[in-house]
Structures are given as C-alpha cells and as structure tokens.
C-alpha cells in the first residue's frame, strides 16, 4: 500500500474537522464548500481534489467511524461485553464532537440507522435462540432490541454531556448485555 503524503492527510483531517465543527453550529444543508475551505484553511480546489461534494465528504467521515467501530469490535471479540464496551465508549469519548454532532443534528437519522445496522451485525454472533433466556424468541427481534438499547444508551450518554466516565458506561451496559444474552 503506497504511503500517503502527510500534507494530504493533514489537509483531509482539517477538512473533516471543519465540516463537523460547522455541523455543530448550523444545519448541514446550509453549509457551503467555501465555508468548509475557509474553516479548514485550504482552497476549495483541495476539497474537490479529495471529495465530490459535501455529501461525499460526510459519507466518507461516517464510513471511517463505522469502520473503526467495526475494527474495535473485532479486536474485542474475545472480551466480555463490559471490556468490549469500554473500548467503544473510550472511542466515543475521544471523538465526542463527531458523535455529538451526528446524534443531535438533522443528520442523526441517517447516522443512527448506520450505527444500529453495525451494532446489530456485531451482536448477531452473540444471539442464540436455541437455549437460555432467549430460547424460542425471534433472532431479529432480539437483535433489534439490543441494537436499539446500545444505540440509545450511547445517544443518551452523548446528548447528556457524558455524565459518567466511559468505564462506568461500559460496565453498566456490559452487565445488562451479559445478563440478557445468556
């Protein structure tokens, strides 16, 4: 894989950060490429060199975070729910501006559905409807239920300014998941 010039990476990071900052201040539909370029301190042409438009830019940012969350899940596959959740909640905390913007703006619906889709996919391997508490229940219902619980917990935590540290959220949500996915 060829190395990417650090200047390119620096420009792309500035552009992404600029868009998220602007989204936290105003409606996505009202944001212009010029505003993004001004905030990122790059030329408009630099933005168009890397992204087709602001929609492509937002899609790429969301995709990066979804991929990172998926990687974190894979690296936590041998952990308990509490330990695995801690990795996620630390990531949410370190990317607070992105997640708070995505979960509290008009873009929330699209992002939330992508996030729910990811959570459902990741929990699919944990659900066993042939034994235990979930015997005889619909796998789809269970997955939607727990997916909505996880996404809702993260959403609540972010919207309320992270009132508990990541470890506390991870422990409490992990206990609930362990208790109900046995």
pLDDT in tens, the chain (182 residues): 567 678 888 999 999 999 999 998 988 889 999 999 999 999 999 999 999 999 999 999 999 999 999 998 888 777 777 788 888 899 999 999 999 988 887 667 788 889 999 999 988 888 877 777 778 889 899 899 989 999 999 999 999 999 999 999 999 998 888 877 76
Tell me the pTM: 0.83
C-alpha span between 10 and 170 (Å, rounded): 32
Residues 6+ apart with CB under 8 A from 4: none
According to the 3-state scheme, what is the secondary structure of 125-170? HHCCCCCHHHCCCCHHHHHHHHHHHHHHHHHHHHHCCCCCCHHHHH
Which regions of 6-61 does DSSP assign to beta strands (E)? none
What does the alpha-carbon distance between residue 70 and residue 82 come to, in Å, rounded to a whole number?
Answer: 17
Q: Please, which residues have CB within 8 angstroms of residue 2's CB and are 6 or more apart in sequence?
A: none
From the list 80, 104, 107, the residue with the least C-alpha distance to 182 is 80
Domains plus CATH for the chain? 1-51 (1.10.10.60), 61-180 (no CATH)
């Amino acid at each position: 894989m060829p190395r990417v010039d650090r200047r390119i990476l620096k420009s792309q990071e500035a552009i992404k950060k600029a868009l998220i900052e602007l989204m936290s201040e105003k409606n996505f539909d009202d944001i212009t490429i010029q505003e993004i370029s001004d905030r990122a301190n790059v030329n408009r042409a630099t933005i168009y060199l890397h992204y087709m438009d602001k929609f492509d830019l937002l899609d790429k940012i969301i995709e990066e975070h979804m991929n990172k969350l998926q990687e974190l899940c894979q690296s936590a596959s041998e952990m308990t729910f509490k330990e695995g959740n801690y990795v996620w909640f630390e990531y949410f905390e370190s990317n607070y501006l992105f997640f708070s913007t995505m979960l509290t703006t008009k873009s929330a619906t699209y992002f939330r559905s992508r996030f729910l889709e990811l959570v459902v996919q990741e929990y699919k391997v944990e659900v066993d409807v042939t034994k235990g508490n979930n015997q005889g229940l619909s796998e789809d219902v269970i997955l939607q239920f727990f997916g909505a619980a996880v996404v809702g917990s993260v959403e609540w935590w972010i919207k309320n300014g992270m009132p508990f540290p990541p470890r506390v959220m991870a422990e409490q949500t992990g206990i609930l998941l362990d208790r109900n996915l046995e």
